[in-house]
């Protein structure tokens, strides 16, 4: 059971989950055994950081969710404003102002088989989960190159699909090798992303990140870092890269909505240089998150 708990009407602890328009106790948050999200991974999800009860970068996550829903031809059952308000209420009632919010959208129940016909009433769930701490100093992670490959230039790469089996297996392989995360390549040998984060590396005073055409997810935090670089006059390039170039980099880090900026110190047991730029980016990102949370919390 998720440890985010609050007191119910009878004084008993309970966990609340948003399910199809209502906040319900965890034990009542049940979807059908015939839900296509369960059967086929036919759906989408978003992961947001919650700070001071505020779901950060909501609009950017909503745009990606809406774009993915359009690609998958799933009709969003609620408006952005309604779900944002419900997410904040979920944080308040669970007494968990610092958390990870997951939004899960499924095509829901339809006829048996792959055809989506009849699956016209989507399921939408929002749940809160423990958040990794965000201290002033970045964690230092080791990466392992996954044996599986992600497609390059695939239209579905832009969707945060509920079917993440490739990423699950890549992460398991990395952990079995003693690493913290997996580095995923496409069939051309180009680096795409980590299993749950985007990659940046540093060459001199410039930042680089793989282009979306290499198979990377259009990460919200990735976009924020690129925008920050532009505001600071820091060169930032979308560059195809192989493993040998990454090992020669002056520094590298991962970005995600859950962990912010995480420094990379090794790849396949070979050391990668560290750079003060990583700390600078992390500090700027955490400051921006704090400003957003404090400004929105008082509304």
Q: What is the pLDDT of residues 188-234, one digit of tens each?
A: 999 999 999 999 999 999 999 999 999 999 999 999 999 999 999 99
Hey, what are 55's tokens?
Answer: 């779901």
- % residues pLDDT > 70 (the chain): 94
Asked whether 243 and 267 are in contact (CB, 8 A), the reply is yes
Question: Is the pLDDT confidence value at 38 over 70?
Answer: yes
pLDDT of 296 reads: 78
Question: Is the pLDDT confidence value at 13 over 60?
Answer: no
pLDDT of 154 reads: 82
Q: Per-residue b/e over 207-241, b at no fewer than 16 CB within 10 Å?
A: bbbbbbebbbbbbbbbbbbbebbeeeebebeebbb
pLDDT of 136 reads: 86
pLDDT of 298 reads: 56
Mean pLDDT (the chain) is: 93
pLDDT band at 157 (very low <50, low <70, confident <90, very high): confident
Bridge partners, 50 (sequence order)? 55, 99
pLDDT of 2 reads: 45
For residues 236-244, average pLDDT = 97
| Torsion, CA 164, CA 169, CA 171, CA 174, rounded to 10 | -160
Structural domains of the chain sorted by starting position, each given as residue range(s) with its CATH number in brackets: 6-129 (3.30.470.10), 140-290 (3.20.10.10)
pLDDT of 5 reads: 46
For residues 107-136, average pLDDT = 93
DSSP assignment letter at 109: B
For residues 1-14, average pLDDT = 47
Question: Is the pLDDT confidence value at 299 over 70?
Answer: no
Residue 285 phi, psi dihedral angles, 5° rounding = -65, -45
Question: Is the pLDDT confidence value at 262 over 50?
Answer: yes
Most confident of 60-74, 130-144, 150-164: 60-74
pLDDT of 6 reads: 46
Longest dimension (CA), the chain: 61
């Amino acid at each position: 059971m998720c440890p985010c708990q609050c007191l119910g009407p009878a004084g008993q602890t309970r966990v609340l989950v948003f399910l199809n328009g209502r906040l319900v106790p965890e034990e009542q948050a049940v979807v059908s055994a015939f839900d296509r999200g369960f059967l086929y991974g036919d759906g989408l999800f978003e992961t947001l950081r919650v700070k001071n009860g505020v779901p950060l970068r909501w609009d950017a996550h909503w745009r990606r969710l809406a774009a993915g829903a359009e690609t998958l031809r799933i009709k969003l059952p609620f408006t952005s404003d309604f779900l944002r308000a419900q997410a904040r209420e979920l944080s308040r009632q669970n007494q968990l102002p610092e958390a990870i919010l997951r939004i899960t959208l499924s095509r829901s129940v339809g006829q048996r088989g792959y055809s989506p016909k009849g699956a016209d009433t989507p399921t939408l769930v929002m749940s809160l989960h423990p958040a990794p701490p965000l201290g002033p100093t970045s964690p230092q992670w080791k990466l392992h190159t996954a044996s599986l490959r992600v497609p390059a230039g695939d239209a579905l790469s832009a969707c945060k699909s509920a079917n993440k089996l490739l990423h699950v297996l890549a992460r398991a392989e990395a952990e079995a090798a003693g690493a913290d995360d997996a580095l995923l390549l496409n069939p051309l040998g180009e680096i795409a992303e980590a299993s749950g984060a985007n990659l940046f590396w540093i060459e001199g005073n410039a930042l680089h990140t793989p282009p979306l055409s290499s198979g990377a997810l259009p990460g919200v935090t990735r976009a924020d870092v690129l925008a920050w670089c532009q505001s600071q006059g820091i060169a930032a390039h979308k560059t195809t890269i192989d493993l040998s170039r990454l090992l020669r980099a002056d520094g590298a880090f991962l970005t995600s909505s859950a962990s912010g900026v995480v420094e990379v110190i090794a790849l396949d047991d070979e050391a990668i240089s560290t750079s003060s730029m990583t700390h600078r980016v992390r500090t700027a990102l955490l400051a921006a998150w704090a400003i957003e949370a404090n400004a929105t919390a008082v509304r």
